Structure 1
Amino acid sequence: MREKGQKVLGVIGGMGPLATQLFYKMIIDKTKAHCDQDHLNMIILNHASMPDRTTAIKSGDVEELYHKLLHDAKFLEVGGADYIAIPCNTSHLLVDRLQKSLKIPIINMIKEAAMSLYCRHGENFKLGILATDGTIKTKLYQNECKALGITAVVPSEENQARVMKIIYDGIKDGNPVDMKDFYEVEKEMKEAGCKCVLMACTELSCFKEINNLSDFYVDAMEVLAERAIVLCDKSLK
């Protein structure tokens, strides 16, 4: 696929498939293009059978997950990718470790999303984080936000259970989401004084699009898509 003057984006997808589909759509929709040839060359690996990331983190054993991610990353590297994007927030627990074994860069969605918010709002503001138990437990976003002077606010235990219900029983399982659950989480974030809320799970990215949520909700995967376009020398609309 490698052609002179054209960079290739490799995508480790399937976590979940609906989120990967949305990520691809974001790349297409956000690229300034007038014909097929203006779009970004991509290798999309839809590894739907990848072990559940939160389950692996909670079990304390992420080795199977790591080795499968590494295998996929190496596949993309050999296939000619210049950059790798992983549209799955929880998997980013392993990005630094994966990067040590690769010759091409992984675009770090956690760092890119946090920096985007910092550039937009500066420091000393409260940011709500909606994510899987795995992402919350490993403090991926909390640590990144702290380094930038941003105060990360995570849901209460009760509302975190609601977030997981939205992700797993709703989006991943293909079922309607009880919006009462979402409004309870939203109420807590607003009462905590959050200036905005980060959708830090790609299923929540899908949820945002399906429900046409306001700009109060910032999508980490959207930031990843925009950064990937720019790094691969294409222009944003």
Structure 2
Amino acid sequence: MREIGQKVLGVIGGMGPLASQLFYKMVIDKTDAHCDQEHLNLIILNHATMPDRTAAIKSGDLEELYHKLLHDAKFLEVGGADYIAIPCNTSHVLIDRLQKNLKIPMINMIKEAAMSVYCRYGEDFKLGILATDGTIETKLYQKECKALGISTVVPSRENQAKVMKLIYDGIKDGNPIDMKEFHEIEKELRDEGCKCVLMACTELSCFKQMNNLSDYFIDAMEILAERSIVLCGKKLK
């Protein structure tokens, strides 16, 4: 697939599959292309049997997850990828460790999303974070935002349980979503004074797209798609 003047994006997908197909669609929709040949070359590895990221974090044993992610990343590297994107926020708990063992760069969704929010709104404001328990507990976004002078707010324990229900029972399992519960989560974050809310789980990216949510909800995966396009030498629409 490697061609002179064309960069290849490698994608470790399947976490979950619905989010991965949305990421691919975002890359297509956001690329300034007028024919097939102007689109970005991608290698998409849909590793749906990857161990659950939040479960791995809660167990305290990340080794199986790490080795499978590294195997996939090296597969993409050998296959000709110039960059690697992982449309899964929680897996970024391992991104620094993975990067040390690769020759090509990984696009860090956590850093890119935090910087994008900073560029839009500056510092000294409150940002709501909606994510899995694993992403919240490892403070991936809290640490990155703090370094930029952004305060973060996460849901209460009761509302975090509703977030997990939306992610796992709603999007991953395909069951109906209780919008009343989502609005309760939103109200809590608005009442806390959040200027905007980061959808920091790729299932929540799907949820935003399905329900046409307002720009109050910023999609981390959308930012990853945009940065992937630009870093691989294409223009955004």
Say whether 1:117 aligns with 2:95.
no
* Structure 1 counterpart of 2:197: 197
For the aligned residue pairs, the C-alpha RMSD in angstroms reads: 0.3
Per-residue CA deviations over 1:100-149 (Å, capped at 9, x if unaligned) read 00000000000000000001100000000000000000000000000000
CA deviations over 1:182-222 (Å, ceiling 9, x no partner): 01100000000000000000000000000000000000000
Matches within 5 A, 1:166-177: 166-177=166-177
3-state secondary structure, aligned to 2:27: helix
1:129 equivalenced with 2:104 (yes/no): no
SS in 1 for 2:115: helix
Counterpart amino acid of 2:28? I
Q: What runs of 5+ residues in structure 1 fail to find an aligned partner?
A: none
Whether 2:92 is the aligned partner of 1:95: answer no
SS where residue 222 of structure 2 aligns? helix
Distance in 2 separating the partners of 1:39 and 1:174:
31
Runs of 4+ deviating beyond 4 Å: none
1:11, CA displacement in angstroms? Answer: 0.1
Query: 5+ unaligned residues in a row in structure 2: which ranges?
Result: none
Q: Could you tell me how far apart the structure 2 residues matched to 1:174 and 1:83 are?
A: 31
Aligned equivalents of 2:200 and 2:124: distance in 1? 20
Alignment of 1:154-165 (within 5 A): 154-165=154-165
For 1:10-25, list aligned pairs within 5 A.
10-25=10-25
- Name 2:71's counterpart in structure 1: 71
Partner of 1:213: 213
Deviations along 1:46-76, whole A, 9 cap, x unmatched? Answer: 0000000000000000000000000000000
What is the distance in 1 between the residues matched to 2:181 and 2:99?
37
Distance across 2 between alignment mates of 1:148 and 1:127: 12
In 2: Cα distance, 1:160 partner to 1:122 partner: 27
Normalised by the length of structure 1, the TM-score is: 1.00
Alignment partner, residue 138 of structure 2: 138
Letter of the 2:220 counterpart = A
Do residues 225 (structure 1) and 218 (structure 2) align? Answer: no
Calculate percent identity across the aligned residue pairs. 83
In structure 1, C-alpha distance between the alignment counterparts of 2:41 and 2:22, rounded to whole Å:
17
> What's the secondary structure of 1:177's corresponding residue?
coil
Residue-pair matches, total: 237
Task: Supply the AA of the counterpart residue of 1:216.
Answer: Y
For residues 78-89 of structure 1, the aligned pairs below 5 Å read: 78-89=78-89
TM-score (normalised: structure 2): 1.00
Looking at structure 1, the residues matched to 20 and 190 of structure 2 have their Cα atoms a distance apart, in angstroms, of: 29
